[in-house]
Amino acid sequence: MEAPTPADSTPHRPRKGGRKASPLAEKQRHVVSVRLTDKEHERLNREAERYRLSQGEVLRSVWSKQDTATKLPAPPTPDEARLLVQLAGMAANLNQITKLAHLQQDQRTGAATVLGQMHHLLKRLAPEA
């Protein structure tokens, strides 16, 4: 037999505990993993302890205070990428000429031509230098 329940009792609802939810815009929903060297990890731990912040908070505070777009080199344009490939090919040619020169074979004119072309390409890639 069931025990009679009082008529004025309400069904039990669990209480919501803990911190109130923040607005969706403020939620940190994405996780990014970063590989660090032992030295970098020690530095991050020291900074976190020094400022009494979590490691993530330290990284976010540094990142948010810097304009990273100006610090990072821009990716090469298609024209620059083509020139870099051409430069790499010339470097390989120069390497082969150097090997032949070590074998006592005269390759001065070929080396001078390749070096001149490389110099010209480097000037086009970095005009300010």
* Sign of the alpha-carbon dihedral angle for 98, 100, 104, 108: negative
Pairs from 53-60 (Cβ < 8 Å, separation ≥ 24): 59/34
Task: Express each pLDDT in 73-124 by its tens digit.
Answer: 677 888 888 988 988 988 888 888 888 777 776 667 777 787 888 888 888 8
pTM of the model: 0.38
